[in-house]
Structure 1
Amino acid sequence: MTERFEFTSQEREDVLSLYNQIKQEIGSSLLEGDEEKMRQYLTGYIEQNHIHRDVFGLNPMLLSFQTAYLVVEEIGLKRDAVLAVLLHPCIEDDYLTIEVIRREFGESVARILHGLQRIQELYKKNPVIETENFRNLLLSFAEDMRVILIMIADRVNLMRQIRDVLLESGESNPEEQGKRREEREQYRKEVSEEAAYLYAPLAHKLGLYKLKSELEDLSLKYLEHDAYYHIKEKLSETKKSRDAYIQRFIQPIREHLEAAGLKFHIKGRTKSIHSIWQKMKKQKCDFEGVYDLFAIRVILDSPVEKEKMHCWQVYSIVTDMYQPNPKRLRDWLSVPKSNGYESLHITVLGPEKKWVEVQIRTERMDEIAERGVAAHWRYKGVKGESGLDEWLTNIRSMLETSDGLEAMDQFKMDLYEDEVFVFTPKGDLYKFPKGATVLDFAYHIHSKIGNTCTGARINNKVVPLRQVLQSGDQVEIMTSSTQKPRQEWLNIVKTSRAKSKVRLALKETQVKEALFAKETLERKFKNRKVEQEESTMQHLIKKLGFKETSDFYRQIADGTLDVNHVIDKYVELQQGEQPVTGNNIAQTAADFVLDNAQLSTLNAQLSDDVLVIDRNLKGIDYQLARCCQPIYGDKVFGFVTVSGGIKIHREDCPNAAELKKRFGYRVVKARWSGKGSSQYAITLRVIGNDDIGIVNNLTSIISKDEKLVLRSINIDSHDGLFSGNLVIMINDNTHLESLIKKLRTVRGVKQVSRL
């Protein structure tokens, strides 16, 4: 509920005072007639009874003037942004239209207001606001970056105006008073949560660190009232002694660093209330238990090539003076954070047995951290490591010199030009590369959805599956059980994930079609009482002009090639050639392999490394199956492939049972004979506790064995456990068994198995 109201005398004074201050700051940027037209529209808006107080009794017109002053004073925006802020309530209540604003005040003001309206549309979709994707969507969705800056300023202002003491509602009915009180409490909670989850991170990303800290502290004030005032009072009580202590701590460090000839300056700062509260929760302690209430920062003026050396030199000087806590050492010099943050953090025991955090970094590192690069994100389109810093610096400079449309074109978030953000009907938000289609979205949800996708409803409008996605789209996929993946889909999808899924689906379809075609062909052969021989069939396939066997069976499956015609040609070929004697399929396969030198082996064989196929046939080409990676000493068997070559599988291969059951006539015996010096690739799966040094212990065992070569290692950790695959070149299975036993003895290793 809202209440119709009249301006109080104090509110009139406040509005007039703010108006004069704003005009003094931006007067030079105002155009002729701006003031008269704005006064006319605002007066008309008020007189038509559009203005109502909000649930806290706040005057929305006064709020607009307060926000306008904030965007001028704290951020540096000028004419266009101020007019947009003051006229926005008129647009919200349909008193004015964007077209009128464009005609009266220009394109730039209209664009800002249009951006504010688009942002409000996003809220109606009810997404989860605390996600990084939603923050990124806001940045890409707002056509003008001033829209985001105004949103941040508006939320800071609103948080400042909300008071802890609920205003009397004027309701005489206790039940109505209770409802109003609940309504205000819920409103305060929602506003504060959005400040913490959405606006504070946005402010940090854009380099508005002062506003970011204020939003965090104010949200804590309203969400955790008792905690906020407890910490505030404690900080007030200890401020004088804390400042004196910082000086006592810094002075000897400064003297030693100067004596070492280093160029530097030192900062000492008390951490924010919000930061202290986070530490209290993380460390599960009270205020007195947080020993690093303030941080000392040593910032070195050092050339890039000497940065690390000088930082560690400072570390050595500080830890010689004060006892360090080794558990609190954070080395982001050797391995910077993924967001580019570089610094050396140590905690030392200072005078009076108090723990103090010391941060050591260079001017370059400090600038990167302070200018927003350490905000867990990266702008797309910014070139070079210092691109974001230059971009933010240009923003500051531009805001000081211009507020025009041309300048704001540079300010637009083209940094997100390579990404789009779209919603599911439930409000889930996903990120895709620019140019991604409905089909990409479908495969992102699930392979089955992608394989059966026929199109989509975007913003309730039916579109084809090749429709390109735009930021802010709400996408609902349409499917059909009769739909199947097609080859041309590879040209429709943009993401590598979707392409791989389409290829997999096409491959599975081809395999099914080939099996169906083979079964059809075999049944027709039996009906015509013609005995089918693999070697003759291969010769026929080549004679019919097929380079790939799969193409032959595909044409059988889709009816392009008549089965009876194939059988007739087969009989002609069989009658015109010398038949193969006996029923030794291995001999036939071997003859074929020997006639086709183009087949290559997966592992290069040496002359003294012999594999014997079936009846002591040696010297024929074969391939070691990728699915089970057999090595010398494994029990193996051969399998005659469709192309006539032989693949060697382990007896315990995951595919062995199915191959022998369905294609027993193509299985041949195989065994190792002799012993060469070849090495074979095997993969080991290792699972264990995610302890420091465990991976080094594993690789150390392998590196110490001269007969082993570690080809690759892929490790992933989750919930205190790590799992990984090690690809190793090894001589034989005896050596492999010995290696597995050694790896299992490593402390923390829970499982070692061969894949």
Structure 2
Amino acid sequence: MIRQYELVERVKAYDPSADEDLLNRAYVFSLKAHGSQTRASGDPYFSHPLEVAGILTQMKLDAGTIATALLHDTVEDTVATLEDIERVFGREIARLVDGVTKLSRLELNSEQAKQAENFRKLVLAMSEDIRVLLVKLADRLHNMRTLHHIGKPEKRKRIARETLEIYAPLAERIGMHQIKDELEDLAFAQINTEARDSILAQLSRLRNEGEDRVARIITELRETLTAEGIPNVLVSGREKTAYSIWRKLQRKNVSFEQLSDIMAFRITVESLPECYQALGVIHAAYPVVPGRFKDYISTPKPNGYRSLHTGVIGPGRNRIEVQIRTSDMHEIAELGVAAHWSYKQGQPRNGGREYRWLRELLDILEHAQKPEEFLEHTKLELFQDQVFCFTPKGDLIALPRGATPVDFAYAVHSEVGDHCVGAKINGRMLPLRTQLQNGDQVDIITSKAQTPVPGWERFVVTGKARARIRKFLRTQQRAQYIELGRAILQRQFKTEGYEFSDKALEAVVKIFQQPSVEDLLAGVGSGLHSGREVFHGVFPGHKPPVKDADERAATAPKPKPKRKDAPLPIRGLIPGMAVHYARCCHPLPGDRIVGIVTTGKGVTIHTIDCETLESFHESPERWIDVAWDIESERAEEHVGRVSLVVANEPGSLGTLSTVIGKNGGNISNLKITSRNVDFFELLIDVEVKDAKHLTNIMAALRATPAISSVDRARG
């Protein structure tokens, strides 16, 4: 454990003016509060807040942040209260500690609801002071480093999944790539141990084979730059993390050996002009790989990241990635917002509201109906690769990959999104469902008469857009339910010989646990309460007139029809029409799909990129706009087809089936299409839940040494 004087010396080393008394008081207060508590590892509990404080000293953060780290678990896990913290340390430290503290005494009906409420509180707190997030990330990092001490595997996986879905993307959003990489790798080790071990084994092999090669590349790059008059240049090599490689294997149809940027070489120069000078030298000396150049200096990422990226066929004909930046850019690349929040700034600091992504989380928070919905939309907002597009004025808008003009419109402003009727992309009018590409200039066309369309929800990908559309549809639906509920009650009252009025319902609102008359009417319209129930609530002593036998027989309730199977999980289909999935493209939930009406067969569902669709271009009347219903409760296995090239060696087919089985897939059919001395070529049908499930299986297969290539089969 770090001793008290050692912690103070660490802070004083980079900030001589730090409040030494504050640090000493926080250290002693936390030590006494946690007392004899221990962690799952058996270590004293106090070691945890101390290690969190140690992580934050490496970022050179101010004394207030270090004190918050020491105190962050006292309110949640000891008898200390927020009032105690405020009395001893002041209002600012108490506010920071409260922001990091979880809602431990919350009465919620599910673990997910509790997680969502805790995250909601964190978002509100870090919007006021971003240091709350810095402490929370350091807290999560130390918890992940010691996660292996937790006995229950399912609990370890739950915490790891939460880290991967929420905390690692948050670290990336504020530019803290060091912490993001470590969080991802530690979570990956728990969620998919076999895939990580396989990637690490192959990295180790490549490292052993290419140790001299890396040193030669660094030496040659340095000599090339120095010879062209760039002084004091630093060149280093950095290996990509196992999780980063896994994500690339998921996205790209390449084997492990074909990945060109497993090693990235960083060139650090003294000034901004030298960045572009170094880029010119590298491009002049080595052939450029097309499509690999990115200028994040002239167009920085939203988290402040600045650097030049390029791919070249470098020294020794090796295909490499090169990053060029200054030392200041490098500090921001590694520490992100922490670099701005360190002691040395000496400027008044804002909260977190200056970050666009955080303002959008607050917007989602305002429009989400339930905590779980907020969490779902937040994950959409955080956990995706990005594309960068421009407004007509040249303002940069960062969006998730796959975003559409509707997502862009909502990112500009909620009102622009609500009234969006069309979009010009690079000067051309294109459909609103068009997926945007890096560098697109988007001009949104609006109309005051326009309102959000239910169909937009099928193709938008940002949490903000989905939350706004759902809120509008809920409001519109509520109005319809109120109108329907009023009509049902008017008919019920008239049948019983009474005149209906809203005032009559005021007395029974509380009986039905509704906040207002309108809510009660909406409940009747949506089927939550029947008209008869509400009528008898208003007139509890009312007795219907006695009917004779013939009347009773005529009005007797008819037996309910037997429940049929749940409908297919596809929206936009004509009720009762026969449906089947095309065998040419094997569509899966998550794919963009289209329906083709076929005489005598009903509707055939194809993926939007299926080559078979070309034969229907002359028959637009046969096309049906359909989409997967992500809210469908129907549990159904779908078949995805993959083509593989597998090494012709003992055990390779066994390894193949084991990998598919461990990742939750089931082989329903296997066909060897070609076989020679070295390789098999196979077609395999795998039962999966959706396209993402199949992508994960394919990534796991690509990480397996016995498998040369994996692709989703078409045809």
> TM-score when scaled to structure 1?
0.43
> TM-score when scaled to structure 2?
0.45
Which structure carries more relative contact order (alpha carbon 8 Å, separation 6+)?
A: 2
